[in-house]
């Protein structure tokens, strides 16, 4: 069902590069249509070099109500918005911007809480669990803080840049009782393994970890959204592991973002309908 565009339609843009495979506009427009909201989400391809010009122009658009932000702009938007939501300040990244009527842009990030919510909705609890997180980039940072806040016993963070993994582990450790380490991408001994790297988006990508060391009792989460399971998920399934792809996280963060943008009724209606 396509949204009906009017002169009062609130416009939400998804900015990133590349955006060809972006799923958010389809999801949000379906939810807008089901709720009969006068709103539309459109994908806007904006490269790194064009971000400043894009922002300068879009600040003049009075009916721009918000932005969803994907790679490579999640960190860059920190210096552009006027107000940082506590989530963005903690994580150091932004994936949604609310454009206030007074002209201020407020940035937040729901990658992490969306991932945790998606796992919980599929019966995966983090309370007291040992977690391996591979990838300490924008999404990985958000997931690390959310996993710790959800009650994980321990969190091992692995990244191609060991210093980045160590800095993130130290920051997470300061937030609460979860013991956070920087370490190798070795899934052995962990209850939950989360791939927050882009490895797996392309068929010829190397594995983000040694899947042969997965235990059948381990839950494997790959945040990549593809029509077919990634090589990591296929290997994990062959070893008897419970697996989750990126769809639950994508849905969770989208609903949290909609609530942040003022559509609390859509989030409540969706979960109530399950």
Residues designated catalytic: 74
* Residues paired with residue 41 on neighbouring β-strands, in sequence order: 12
| Residues 187 and 121: beta-carbon distance below 8 Å | no
Tokens (6 digits) for 30: 């379906």
| Residues 29 and 39: beta-carbon distance below 8 Å | no
Which ranges of 61-199 does DSSP label H, i.e. alpha helix? 86-91, 111-121, 138-149, 162-173
**Half-sphere CA count of 80, side-chain side, radius 13 A:** 25
| Residues 207 and 235: beta-carbon distance below 8 Å | yes
- Pairing state of beta strands 96-99 and 83-84? unpaired
- Pairing state of beta strands 105-108 and 154-158? unpaired
């Amino acid at each position: 069902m396509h949204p009906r565009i009017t002169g009062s339609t609130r416009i939400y843009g998804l900015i990133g590069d590349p955006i060809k495979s972006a799923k958010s506009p389809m999801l949000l427009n379906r939810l807008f249509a089901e709720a009969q909201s006068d709103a539309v989400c459109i994908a806007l391809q904006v490269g790194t070099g064009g971000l400043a010009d894009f922002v300068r122009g879009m600040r003049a658009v009075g009916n721009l109500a918000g932005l969803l932000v994907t790679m490579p702009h999640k960190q860059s938007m920190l210096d552009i918005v006027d107000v940082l939501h506590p989530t963005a300040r903690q994580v150091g990244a932004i994936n949604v911007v609310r454009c206030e009527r007074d002209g201020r842009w407020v940035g937040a990030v729901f990658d992490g809480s969306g991932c945790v919510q998606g796992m919980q909705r599929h019966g995966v609890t983090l309370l007291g669990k040992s977690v391996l997180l591979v990838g300490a980039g924008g999404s990985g940072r958000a997931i690390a803080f959310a996993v710790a806040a959800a009650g994980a016993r321990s969190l091992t963070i692995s990244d191609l840049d060991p210093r980045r993994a160590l800095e993130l582990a130290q920051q997470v450790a300061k937030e609460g009782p979860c013991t956070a380490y920087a370490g190798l991408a070795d899934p052995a001994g962990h209850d939950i393994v989360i791939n927050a790297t882009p490895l797996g988006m392309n068929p010829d990508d190397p594995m983000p970890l040694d899947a042969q060391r997965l235990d059948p009792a381990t839950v494997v989460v790959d945040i990549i959204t593809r029509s077919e399971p990634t090589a990591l998920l296929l290997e994990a399934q062959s070893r008897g592991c419970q697996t989750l792809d990126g769809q639950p996280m994508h849905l969770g963060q989208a609903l949290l973002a909609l609530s942040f943008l003022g559509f609390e009724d859509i989030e409540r209606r969706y979960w109530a309908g399950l």
